[in-house]
Amino acid sequence: MGRRGYPPEFRRKVLDLVEAGRAVVDVARDLQISPESIYTWRRQDRIDKGLVAGLSSVEKAELTAAKRKIAELEAELAIHRRASELLGKVVPPKAVRGHLGDGR
């Protein structure tokens, strides 16, 4: 089918069919989805249930959100650094006054 992002309800029903004894290749053919997708969903389901080691769906979502936030912050920092460079060329930094001893 070439589409991404099947709804969780659909994935659950597919996994229920496989758990009920239907062969992955038969379910994939009948629903016109990739058998690899079903195997991937089944593996993630087993991880989420604690049967197999790996990152749970919640942990993956948190990690994805954290990576996205880091990328945003790095982009923002790069903008600030570039602006600081440009401002430094336009407005020279104030000279540091030496101690003149005149009471100022």
pLDDT digits 0-9 by tens, 13-26: 999 999 999 999 99
Q: So what's the pLDDT on residue 5? A: 84
Phi-psi region of 32 (alpha: psi -120 to 50; beta: other; left: phi over 0): left
Which of 22, 14, 65, 68 lies closest to 44, judged by CA?
14
pTM: 0.66
Would you call 49 helix, strand, or coil by DSSP?
coil
Half-sphere exposure in the Cβ direction for 42 (13 Å, CA) = 17
Q: So what's the pLDDT on residue 54? A: 96
